[in-house]
Structure 1
């Protein structure tokens, strides 16, 4: 992705946080006709392989899609893919600057990962992968899943293609006007008073030290 140096972030903890807090990723493969094929797939990041093997430096992503999705066959035949995560994002008004010779822009956090895909075939491994996603989003559902009839769970598992993606390269963009410190306080105030996506950016500005943390109420 286009990534100016001032917005390039190399803190692995920040990239991991973005992937965990915003798990719905865009998975891009190259189709048979050379045109990109894209699917929106929830992903689970973890530091180690599903099989306990040594993972690459940036960890692995676990996910699945419908067996009928053409991307499933592409990931099996062409394991290289691109996975993109979009974190909080919002418009930024030039009004945060004291001078008028400014233009509007957009603030955002994003992660882009190059991956090598490994299809998860055995039934028990697919079940284990699903439990990782359940643990992320609704841990209490694990009990309900275990109590469902085997005929039903097997049919559900047979209807998906599950995969583990080893991250071979990782880029993280944190575009929060770091190169314009004179406007950061005004930008933070504007975002803190805005809608939920803008408020999320205000919290990120606090978390990475661009502005002091907001005082605790009460």
Structure 2
């Protein structure tokens, strides 16, 4: 995480909303085979835990039960040009939103795994605008058993939340506004919107 305290915002509701909205991240772990990462959909349970699943053959799968891992969620980001600042004695930078979740992992049982993948598909199907939502019951029993047997479910009991919301909070309001306008004009409206709505904490 970025060391500048200006880019911290320990607002748990905001961080949970980011986790819910993005819904995808990376799981990092040290293993006897070296450091490994998996890219996974994430399901926040609402009570401080995050669930995910991996293919049974994934290099991380056999090492995770009982391990301490780092889950990383990346929000919007964008390049900030120094030409957007009033003072010409500036350098380029990058604005971004990122969340790190550290915690211990437990392997889920078959019932928990089924609940996880059902909740994941229901959540994201609800975001698809056209047509009737896809549901797990559209699978034949044999197909469902085969697919569930090919993946392993895990849950992280999150012990530490660490955020970086680097949104030009170290600049004055005029520079932040120009930078947000520049980012939006260059095709990065999401980070521009965060800059406008969050800004400095307090």
3-state secondary structure, aligned to 2:63: helix
Match of 1:3, SS state, is: coil
Partner of 2:61: 72
- Report how far residue 68 of structure 1 moved: 0.4
Q: Deviation at 1:209?
A: 5.1
Asked if the contact 1:26–1:85 (Cα under 8 Å) also holds between the matched residues in 2, the reply is yes
Q: How does 1:139-178 map to 2 (within 5 A)?
A: 139=126, 140-142=133-135, 145-178=136-169
Q: Equivalents in 2 of 1:2, 1:194: separation in Å? A: 24
Q: Alignment partner of 1:70: what SS?
A: coil
Deviations 1:151-209 (A, max 9, x none): 110111111000111110000110011111141111121122221xx100111123225
> Normalization by structure 2: what TM-score?
0.90
Number of residue equivalences: 193
The reply on whether 1:40 has 2:32 as its aligned counterpart is no
> Is 1:132 aligned with 2:119?
yes
Say if 1:18 and 1:109, in contact at 8 Å, map to a contact too.
no
State the alpha-carbon separation in 2 of the partners of residues 209 and 104 from structure 1: 19
- What CA distance in whole angstroms lies between the structure 2 residues aligned with 1:169 and 1:87? 18
Which position in structure 1 is the counterpart of 2:130? none
Q: Does structure 1 retain, via aligned residues, the 8 Å contact 2:95–2:166?
A: yes
Partner of 2:190: 200
From 69, 76, 93, the equivalent of 1:88 is: 76
1:101 paired with 2:100, answer no
The runs of at least 4 consecutive aligned structure 1 residues that moved more than 4 Å come to none
TM norm structure 1: 0.83
> CA RMSD, aligned part only?
1.5
- Separation in structure 2 between the aligned mates of residue 97 and residue 105 of structure 1, nearest angstrom: 12
Q: Deviations over 1:42-92 (max 9, x none)?
A: 1011213xxxxxxxxxx111110100002111112x421011111101100
Q: 1:125: how far off?
A: 1.9
Contact 1:45 1:62 in 2 (8 A): yes
The answer to whether the aligner puts 1:112 opposite 2:103 as a matched pair is: no
Counterpart for residue 62 of structure 1: 51
Structure 1: gaps spanning 5 or more residues: 49-58, 211-218
User: What stretches of structure 2 of length at least 5 have no aligned partner?
Assistant: 127-132
Taking the aligned partners of 2:13 and 2:192, their CA distance within structure 1 comes to: 18
1:20 alignment partner in structure 2: 20
